[in-house]
Amino acid sequence: MLMNDSPLKCAAFLKATFKTNFSTGDRPSEYIFRALPARRSRLPSTGGTHSVTFFSDSRLETLSAKLQNGKVNDLIRRMSSVINSRAKVTTSTSPEHLPELGLPSLDYSSATKYIAIYYEQVHPLFPHLDRETFDSTIANPNFRTILTNDIGFSALYHAVIALGSLHDGGGSFEPGKGKAWELLSVALAHVPNLSRAKNSLVALQAITTVAVYCLGVPCISIEHKIMTEMARMAQDLAPSLCKSPYAKAFYRVFWVVYVIEKTMSFHFGRPSAIIDANIIVPMPYIPESHLGALNWTHIFAQQSRLLSRAMNTLFCPGVCHRGSQYFLMTIDQLLEDLEQWRASITEEFRPGYSSQFNLVRRPMHGTVGIWINYLYYSLKLILLRSRLQIDSYQGSGLSKASHSDQLIEVSRSVLEIVTYVDVEPSTPLWIIAAIPLCALFVLFDHVISNPKSPDTRSNLALLNIAGGHFSRIEFASGGTLPGSLISEFTYIAREYINQCDNQDSLKGAQNIIPSVNHDTSVGESYTSGASHSLEQDFEMAQATVLNSTSLMDPIYAPIESLWDSGNDPLYGIDVMNLFNSIM
């Protein structure tokens, strides 16, 4: 059994078992795994309980002590209330409650335009659609009859034109509103019956297209059900479709299912429904997903496998009994493989090259460039925070300082890019909110914990940029998403830094004033006493913070007592549970 092996043997086994060769010379078709079982499994429909908690209860107490107020607690409660209200499933959004709808009125020219937009803006990112078959079905003289009688194709068609409408400005940040949602509702109403559709491949394409729509903010309340059903269908159909004449078309769909499900599972902090060891599907050649020398689908799949490895070897209940050496070696191996993945990317898109944002002028290139950067930085941020907690636990000062510097640099890089992110209902939730929010929290914590740092002013400027991004979300959503709440973190940080600067000024002034002054007025005495009291309060607060963060100062990391069997391990970035018990 692995649990009886030494940490060194475990690490060697994991490396041999899971390590992916990121050499650019490898052919995608070489990534082949074992066959999926044919048994239909009932996957859970509720979210995982393991999540990265950026501000745990203990950390909130520490921040409040240092700030000498409860502003962070109050702000987080308000944010949590907003998130909870957005996550509620309503009868207008849940597939189970949607009635069978009549076909919405849509003229031929609008439908043609939406399909063209889909091919231009969605298909290169998620090339799961068999375009030739789809186009020939639309051109069929009996097309309207097909829409009426074939629920699989009806769901697929309406999901495609819904995404086209969404990217044409027909969407809304509010669920249930807009032309795009009206079209999507037809597809959603078919979801419960897709497993009984005539053509199982078309049904899988349909729910995958719905899942692509569900990546955005409007679908936060239903995306998990859609992702779960999509993963179940893909695994159930794999044994038969892999041996059918439609195998190559299925390969396309499967790898889009894989990257969507793995990415969302990691960033929502829940167990993945797809088991890597059970996969036999090769990566097909998909020319429309190539951007110059970049094979986007291949790059995305490799990163998704890294996320899966991180969940399976670092953030799952089965490893909670492991010792610190296991976690150190696992994290270091994942970081090494992440850097190999980065190095395998063509320089034009490789994270860390500032000139790459000239790509923003080219819509698809700009989108892919931002996504690759955020895929890289988000995993690195999580791994570094985990590594920091272990360094703190072991008292490794030199290693801790190095990883702290890297963590801050990663967080700064995320926020430097955020102005390029499209603030649209179609932008994936993990791009538009989750990753920028996590970077903001890290930088905010760093500023409060290290007010004397030489980079404090530039970090405050980046917090302002992040606040501006979330204010753009509020503006774009017509106020329904109060993103300006996030800018209050910047206000709290700036207020605290000003307080520290004023304290330093008072100390300097006291050193200049003569020690004996018999002409001091009553008012001056009062001011001096108040200043002395403020200084004492500030020093007491500092002492309280130092005493309460002996294992995590100067930067808090998310793994708290990971090796304590009484606590659950942590899992990805759960945007629904960022704030521990407050939610």
- Binned at pLDDT 50, 70 and 90, residue 487 comes out as confident
Q: Is the pLDDT of residue 40 over 90?
A: no
Q: Is the pLDDT of residue 186 over 90?
A: yes
Residue appearing with tokens 């102005």? 419
Q: What is the pLDDT of residue 322?
A: 85
Q: Determine the average pLDDT of the residues in 409-413.
A: 96
State how far the Cα of 207 lies from the Cα of 380, in Å rounded to an integer: 31
Q: What is the pLDDT of residue 546?
A: 36
| More confident call, 174 vs 26 | 174
Least confident of 102-106, 316-320, 511-515, 533-537: 533-537
- Binned at pLDDT 50, 70 and 90, residue 149 comes out as very high
8-state DSSP, 261: H
Three-class DSSP labels, 136-149: HHHCCCCHHHHHHH
List pLDDT tens digits, range 2-17.
333 333 333 332 233 3
CA-based angle 244:250:253, to the nearest 5? Answer: 170
For residue 427, give the 3-state DSSP assignment.
coil
- Which sequence spans correspond to the domains of the chain? 1-88+285-511+523-583
Average pLDDT, the chain: 78
Q: Is the pLDDT of residue 527 over 60?
A: no
Q: What is the pLDDT of residue 114?
A: 97
What proportion of the chain, given as a percentage, has pLDDT over 70? Answer: 69
Helices (H) and strands (E) in the chain, counts: 20, 2
- Binned at pLDDT 50, 70 and 90, residue 357 comes out as low
Q: What is the pLDDT of residue 398?
A: 64
Write out the two tokens for 95. 């597939």
List pLDDT tens digits, range 42-86.
333 333 333 334 556 666 677 777 777 777 777 777 777 777 666
Q: Determine the average pLDDT of the residues in 16-22.
A: 35
Residue appearing with tokens 């052919």? 27
| More confident call, 395 vs 320 | 320
Q: Which range is most confident: 304-313, 401-410, 511-520?
A: 304-313
- Binned at pLDDT 50, 70 and 90, residue 504 comes out as low
- Binned at pLDDT 50, 70 and 90, residue 552 comes out as very low
Write out the two tokens for 247. 């195998």
Query: For 538-559, b where at least 16 C-beta lie within 10 A, e where not — what string?
Result: beeeeebbeebbeebbbbbbbb
State how far the Cα of 326 lies from the Cα of 423, in Å rounded to an integer: 40
Least confident of 188-197, 212-221, 293-302, 530-539: 530-539
pTM of full prediction above 0.85 = no
Least confident of 147-161, 390-404, 425-439: 390-404
Q: Determine the average pLDDT of the residues in 366-386.
A: 94
- Binned at pLDDT 50, 70 and 90, residue 556 comes out as very low
- Binned at pLDDT 50, 70 and 90, residue 259 comes out as very high
Write out the two tokens for 285. 């050649």
Least confident of 230-234, 467-471, 507-511: 507-511
CB 224 within 8 A of CB 271: no
For residue 428, give the 3-state DSSP assignment.
strand
Q: What is the pLDDT of residue 188?
A: 96
Q: Is the pLDDT of residue 30 over 60?
A: no
CA atoms within 13 A on the CB side of 208: 29
Q: What is the pLDDT of residue 424?
A: 96
State how far the Cα of 70 lies from the Cα of 67, in Å rounded to an integer: 8
Q: What is the pLDDT of residue 93?
A: 55
Q: What is the pLDDT of residue 104?
A: 65
Q: Is 79 exposed, middle or buried (0-12, 13-18, 19+ CB in 10 A)?
A: buried
Q: Which range is most confident: 294-298, 314-318, 483-487?
A: 294-298
291 has which bridge partners?
294
- Binned at pLDDT 50, 70 and 90, residue 419 comes out as very high
- Binned at pLDDT 50, 70 and 90, residue 396 comes out as low
Q: What is the pLDDT of residue 402?
A: 85
Q: Determine the average pLDDT of the residues in 299-323.
A: 92
| More confident call, 356 vs 463 | 463
